[in-house]
Amino acid sequence: MKRFRIVILVLACLTACGEKLIEQPENLIPKDKMVLILRDMALINAAKGANLGILKDNAVEPTRYVFEKYGIDSAQFVVSDRYYASLPVEYEAIYTEVESSLDATRIELEEEKKITDSLKLLESKRTRKTVLDSLKPSPIVGKDSLP
């Protein structure tokens, strides 16, 4: 009898864990599009933290900008986000993909910055050499000995 109760309890737990908590909404944002939206939101929120004045000067409201870019509204985003959050494995996969995308962008920008910094350093050295060369005394040319 004790084993029977344990088996029933285990089966109940397994079936309850497999049950969907939230039904898939009709206007669900596809997973790949959700990754892009979340990535853009992370980027624009970072920009908002760094340069809020620029966004205000250009009358850009970050969240609305992202929603308009992807042709969605806030209600659709919230419903889709809630649905994916009810599926922890998929939700984690989405955020892992967002993080990977942000890391790839960061690495790409760091490489571009290294190249730009190297070019600026070369230009600076060239300019400094030109300035130093112009400061050198020019050789004195003697008078011609011809009449």
pLDDT > 60? residue 30:
yes
Could you please report the per-residue DSSP string of 56-109?
Answer: HHTT--HHHHHHHHHT--HHHHHHHHHHHHTSHHHHHHHHHHHHHHHHHHHHHH
The three-state (H, E, C) secondary structure of 26-49, written as one string: CCCCCHHHHHHHHHHHHHHHHHHH
% of the chain at pLDDT higher than 90: 41
pLDDT of residue 143: 63
Q: What is the pLDDT of residues 45-61, one digit of tens each?
A: 887 777 777 777 777 78
The burial of 135, by beta-carbon neighbours within 10 Å (0-12 exposed, 13-18 middle, 19 or more buried), is given as exposed
Question: pTM score, two decimals?
Answer: 0.65
